[in-house]
Amino acid sequence: MISSLLNAAYFLPIVYKAWFCTPEEVQYAGPIREAPTWCLVPLLGTAALSVGVFFYQETLTTLAAMAARF
């Protein structure tokens, strides 16, 4: 319960500034651009690993069983 209240206290100001602030309160007025390539590489790598684990889960299960026997 306390954790939920702390999370709300941390994140509600961010949500307010993102969605509900007035035009006078806006802190960023520049154009929105795409993230730099090096910021996208970790995201794409994690997504590719997740898809790979989905399709090759038996291989990982076998490796985990081998490691548990060791």
- DSSP string computed for the chain: -HHHHHHHHHHHHHHIIIII--GGG-S--SPP-PPPHHHHHHHHHHHHHHHHHHHTHHHHHHHHHHHHH-
Structural domain containing residue 22:
2-27+34-69
Q: Let me know how long the chain is.
A: 70
Closest CA to 41 of 33, 53, 49: 49
Task: Provide the whole-model pTM.
Answer: 0.51
pLDDT in tens, the chain (70 residues): 899 999 999 999 888 888 888 888 777 777 888 889 999 999 999 999 999 999 999 998 999 999 999 7
Domain count along the chain: 1
CB 25 within 8 A of CB 17: yes
pLDDT score recorded for residue 20: 87
